[in-house]
Amino acid sequence: MLKTILVALIVCVIEILVIVIASPMAKPAIVLRFLPEDVRLAAANHPEPPKRKQMMAHFLLAIFLIAMLGGMIYLGIEGLKSGYGFWKMTLRFVVFLYVMKAFDILVQDQWLVMTIGYFKKLYPETAECEGWKDRGFNNKNQIIRIIAYPFLCMLTAGIFMLFR
C-alpha cells in the first residue's frame, strides 16, 4: 500500500502545481465552476486571458490527466505482476482515489481556496463574497464522489482482471 500512497501523492503534487500555475491562464468560467456560487456570479465578467495562455492552461491540465491515468495504469499493471486479485486491486484503487480526495478536500478546498484565498487574489472582484467563508461549499459534490469511488474502483479492477 505504501507504493499506492506514494503514487497518489505524486499525482497530488502534480495536480496542485497545475492548479496554481494554470488557473491564472485558464478561462475564468472553467476555474470558477469549482468555486462557491456567489463567487462565480461576482466574477462572471472577469476578462479572459489571451488564447495562447488558455491553450497553455489546457496543456497543463492534460499533463495532470495523463499523470493521473498513468498512475492508475502503473498501479494496475504492477498489481497484476504482484498477483493481486480483484479485491486487492479494488482496494489499491480505492486507496489511490481516497488519498487524492483527501488531498483535494484538505489542501485544495480548505487550504488553497479558503485559508490562503488563492482564487480571491485571481478574482479580486470576489473579495467581499460570503462564499469565501463557507468551508462546506461543495460538500454535496464531494460526498457524491466519495460514494461513487468504490464502484468506479471495482469497475477499474475488473477491467484490469480481464488482462490477467
User: Mean per-residue pLDDT for 90-95?
Assistant: 97
User: Mean per-residue pLDDT for 95-111?
Assistant: 93
Q: How far is CA 94 from CA 91, 98, 136, 137, 158, in A?
A: 5, 6, 23, 24, 13
The answer to whether the pTM exceeds 0.85 is yes
Nine-digit cell string for 68: 493521473
Number of domains in the chain: 1
CA distance 23 to 76: 31
What is the domain range of residue 95? 2-162
Over the stretch 112-157, which tens digit does the pLDDT of each residue have?
A: 988 898 998 999 998 888 888 888 888 888 999 999 999 999 999 9
Tell me how crowded residue 145 is: count the other CB atoms within 10 A of its CB: 16
